[in-house]
Structure 1
Amino acid sequence: MKKNNALLNIIIVLLSLSASAALWAEEPQATPGNNTADTPISETNSADKKDYITPAPQTSRIEALKASLSIRRLGHQIQTLEANGKPFLTLYKPSITSSTQGCVVILHSDNEHPDWPDAIAPLRNALPEHSWCTLSIEVPDIVKRAAPVKTEAPNTENNQQPIELPNQTEVFARIQAAINKAKTEDVETFVFLGYKTGASYALSFLANNQASGEALALIDIDAPPNLSNYEIAQQIRRVAQPILDYYVNSNAGSDQFATWRKQAANQRTENRNDYIQLDALPDRATGKDSKQLLIQRVRGFLKQNTRQILQKKALPSVKKGLFYESPINT
């Protein structure tokens, strides 16, 4: 009986093996002319075709921003411009005073958007109340390159040479497109303001286009990953316009970076003592609204270092009848 059971088991195994061999024989074999592993999904049978969506963080971020602005009934601020054949988003707010001084071109930091709440949104919304229109530009995310990030200062010889930032051509083209658009609305004066890596773009753009703006505001400037802090600091030597350098001195690295920027400002050929470096930490330590203090710093800088210093508003005429009682006839 045991022998019969063993024989039966052997027969069952042999049958299963033959069935498996038949199934494998039906599968297409990988040959030099028929490599199914390398066949794109789009070329496979339509019944098996699948749509794969490549993650696009910036696209999602911008779409969410548009939706948020629409919900807040601010969709009219959105302007879609084009640079080098590619569309990009800007947020435009006109001056709400009777005498527009010009436009502040605003550049946000990496992986953010043109209405980022830390510094961008407060400034772009407040400055129009002080005679400035604002143009906040979408800056493409920085793609980390294969080159290692530099952490030490390079050779200090010839350190006034131009540098190349990630996506520089695209960002500069966007800035110029925004300027050209503003000029069609009779804006003639421009100021550049950048936050973190956006400040590096603003600095480099003005260094390479020295007649394009009247002043520069750097808010907590950061170097992009392909450049050292020292290289970014040296670009200040190429800018003759007034500069506000408002930063957070949070560690030894930021303190050294600030020192390099200060030194570069002192080495400018046209040194008019119009480089203002301020540590933001004391402002934050007061317990007051740090965003409001930031607005006051930028507003004061623009008032004292642009044509706005010449702006004078006539005192309103006072109708005494609104404040004094008319004499009673007796």
Structure 2
Amino acid sequence: MPPHSLALLGFCLLFAATSWAQESPEDTQNATADEAETSTSSERPLLPERSVSEAHTLEQRLDKREQQMLQAGTDTFLALWLPANVGEPSGAVILLPGDVENADGAAAIGPLRRKLPDAGWHSLSLTLPDPDGDPLPLRQASAATAAPPGDTATTESTPAAESPPEATVDEAAQAADSGTISPEQRRQAHVERVLARIDAAIAFASQQQQAREIVLLGHGSGAYWAARYLSERQPDNVQNLLMVAAELPAGFAPPLDEMVTQLAVATGDFFYKDQATDRAAALKRLQASKRAKLPTYIQVSMKALPGNLDIQQEQLYRRLRGWLTQHIRAAGS
């Protein structure tokens, strides 16, 4: 290589080495910060609680005229309203879904809210907050990446592990509060949220829609919340309760057979007799009603038809419609 080329190459190497040596620590820190920010922004965002996500889905899917945004304390929640298809409505049925359902659940709540208007009743189906009793497994953004149940389950006696990025906002808040708020306090807060939503629904039906009679109808754990509301609040304008496949939410008390004895309303208790545990629980409620000498407590057994859901739903609707025709108790009577 010619001498002048060697000199030029040496000059270039010297200049590059000098530039690298003069790079400031601040530049290095900025680069590291940029990398960290990029990494953080690529993390999966926290998911809202299940009931909020499902409410947003219903808002996008259903007719806007059915949607009512009600206020319960600081909570704004979705309710689904359908007016009765008659000139003189009998009243309003407020439907409470179970923990695994939403305000338009296919198992019972959705079909009933659409069919009851044909029987002369307004229907108002509520969105309830996620259950807050026993700790729940952490939900993840994708079912394909869900961790095994053993990795996420917690108990009240064992502190929950640090919530991963996939944890819901509500569950992360519970983990953060676990050092200062007891499980019993969390459960009581959930009770107040649910009862406040029922209060708001009754106010909407009676004050804004001038419903002549109001009936609470709960499915699954929703039946527990309807019964608990009536036993604790004892509103003058609600004298009728319908329970369908009633269940006790995990971690809550008292059991339904104890609560039944405190109900001073006309009650229709509909249950499916195919499962031994359901039959046993229904028998306890019936025996409790007899000991308390409740003349307006009526229990109806039905046969589950899992192979034909449409027929099962129609059977339930006809039984409920018959009860509403024969056993309704007017408010103030």
TM range (shorter): 0.5 to 0.7
Distance across 1 between alignment mates of 2:309 and 2:237: 38
Structure 2 alignment gaps of length 5 or more: 1-24, 26-32, 136-154, 157-186
Cα deviations by residue, 1:14-33 (Å, 9 ceiling, x for unpaired): xxxxxxxxxxxx8xxxxxxx
2:267 alignment partner in structure 1: 243
User: Which residue does the alignment assign to 1:214?
Assistant: 239
1:172 matched to 2:195? The reply is yes
Identity of aligned residues (%): 26
Instruction: Give CA deviations for 1:260-284 in whole Å, capped at 9, x if unaligned.
Output: 1101211235x22x22212221778
- Describe the shift of the 1:303–1:128 C-alpha distance in structure 2 as closer, same or farther (beyond 3 A): same
Q: CA deviation at 1:49?
A: 4.3
Q: Does 1:200 align with 2:189?
A: no
Q: Which residue does 1:88 correspond to in 2?
A: 77
- Matches of 2:308 and 2:132 in 1, distance apart? 38
The corresponding residue for 2:214 is 190
Residue 225 of structure 1: aligned partner: 250
Tell me by how many angstroms 1:252 deviates: 2.7
Pair 1:302–1:223, CA change in 2 (3 A): same
Q: Residues of 2 paired with 1:194 and 1:104: CA distance?
A: 10
**2:95 aligned counterpart, secondary structure:** strand
Report if the CA contact (8 A) 1:99-1:131 is conserved: yes
Distance 1:87 1:105, change over 3 A: same
Counterpart amino acid of 2:209?
A: E
Give the structure 2 partner of residue 53 of structure 1: 45
Larger radius of gyration: 1
Structure 2 match to 1:276: 298
Give the counterpart letter for 1:137 in structure 2. L
Contact 1:244–1:277 at 8 Å: present in 2 too?
A: yes
CA deviations over 1:34-84 (Å, ceiling 9, x no partner): xxxxxxx9x996555426521223222122222221xxxx22100011111
Which residue is equivalent to 2:314? Answer: 292
Aligned residue for 1:125?
114
* 2:281 aligned with 1:257: yes
Across the two proteins, how many residue pairs are aligned to each other? 249
**Deviation of the 1:209 alpha carbon:** 2.3
Greater relative contact order, per chain length (Cα 8 Å cut-off, separation 6+): 2
Instruction: For 1:166 and 1:223, locate their aligned partners in 2 and report how far apart those are by CA, in whole Å.
Output: 17
Do the aligned partners of residues 138 and 45 (structure 1) sit closer, same or farther apart at CA in structure 2, a change above 3 Å counting?
Answer: same
Deviation at 1:88, TM superposition (A): 0.2
Unaligned runs of 5+ in 1: 1-25, 27-40, 149-163, 309-330
What's the RMSD between the two structures over aligned residues? 3.1
